[in-house]
Amino acid sequence: MIRGLLDEARPKQWPKNVLVFAAPGAAGVLSHWNDLWPTLVAFVAFCLASSGTYYWNDIHDVEADRNHPTKRNRPIAAGVIPLAVARLVGTVLLLGGVGLALVINWQVAAVIGGYVLQTTLYSTVLKHVAVIELVAVAAGFLLRAIAGAEATDVQMSTWFLLCTSFGSLFIVTGKRFAELREMGGDNSTRATLDAYTLQFLQTVLTVAIGGTIVSYCIWAFEAREVSGNDWPFYELSIVPMLIALLRYTLVIEQGHGSAPEEVFMADRWLQAMGLLWVVVFSMGVYVG
């Protein structure tokens, strides 16, 4: 059962929590230990809290997951983890995440507490409301970025927040688009899919990617002005960002994207663009 407990925590999903490094990384403060350690702690706290939410989400969805072609193999749905044990472990993980965040400051604990509340509402109510559920999931990504800023007392640009928000909406909508194509007419595993059409989700994808690109471009130019850097690294970072977004859009149109983390781990071009973006943007932060 130990293997099942670890699998249910979904460590493959933990890379999503790397978003806590976004704000301090963009501000160039991660080279200082006083800012690095609270960011690392915030990352671990979010991993604990998010794993707890996965437990409780699967507890609520246990019957629906048993009708899903792949989710039926999740430890709770498959009966590997008894429901009583799942409830206990899920609760300990949630409380552990919030408690660990208190080591940094109460603001980070409040953000993670808000994340727990938001995901709980999502699992019980919001996931059944079309459109609202898209925004709710996207909000979870935004809270990760806010936690990193609060951990290091970094001021977040409005354009940074907008870029993160639109980018999160883009990923979440792409996941729904892929799920709708994958499941066809059988939407018993996610009720809101009945309310969506491929055309509607394509429209939302267009709005989201447009908002992401525009807000990122403005943020990049703003960051260049604030930094006073003479080199155009911030502006050049727009290129790999744009290519990655378009590449991911192509992947979605090809029928993939229901598991974004698996897409990124399998697509070498997405990985290359991600690495190139990190290098170019880091040069903007630390060179000049």
State pLDDT tens for residues 113-133: 999 999 999 988 888 899 999
DSSP assignment, residue 102? T
Q: Could you tell me if 44 and 107 are in contact, meaning their C-beta atoms sit under 8 angstroms apart?
A: no
**22: CB partners within 8 A, 6+ apart:** 145, 148, 160, 164
Structure tokens at 14: 């933990």
Say what the pLDDT of residue 184 is: 62
Say what the pLDDT of residue 179 is: 84
Domain boundaries, given as residue ranges, for the chain: 1-19+31-128, 157-288
pLDDT value at 187 more than 80? no
Q: Between 49 and 266, whose confidence is greater?
A: 49
Structurally, at CATH architecture level, domain 1-19+31-128 sits in Orthogonal Bundle (1.10)
Say what the pLDDT of residue 185 is: 53
Closest CA to 160 of 27, 1, 8: 27
State pLDDT tens for residues 3-57: 888 888 998 889 889 999 999 998 889 989 999 999 999 999 999 999 999 999 8
Q: Between 62 and 48, whose confidence is greater?
A: 48
pLDDT value at 1 more than 80? no
Average pLDDT for residues 206-233, to the nearest whole number? Answer: 91
Could you tell me how far CA 110 lies from the centroid of its own chain? 18
Say what the pLDDT of residue 209 is: 96
Q: Could you tell me if 146 and 111 are in contact, meaning their C-beta atoms sit under 8 angstroms apart?
A: yes
Taking the CA atoms of 254, 260, 264 and 265 in sequence, report the sign of the dihedral they define: negative
Residue 149 confidence class, pLDDT cut points 50, 70, 90: very high
The structure's pTM equals 0.88
| C-alpha to C-alpha distances, 78 to 3, 55, 62, 168, 262, nearest whole angstrom | 13, 13, 9, 30, 22
Polymer length in residues for the chain = 288
Residue 190 confidence class, pLDDT cut points 50, 70, 90: low
* CA atoms of 52 and 48, how far apart (whole Å): 6
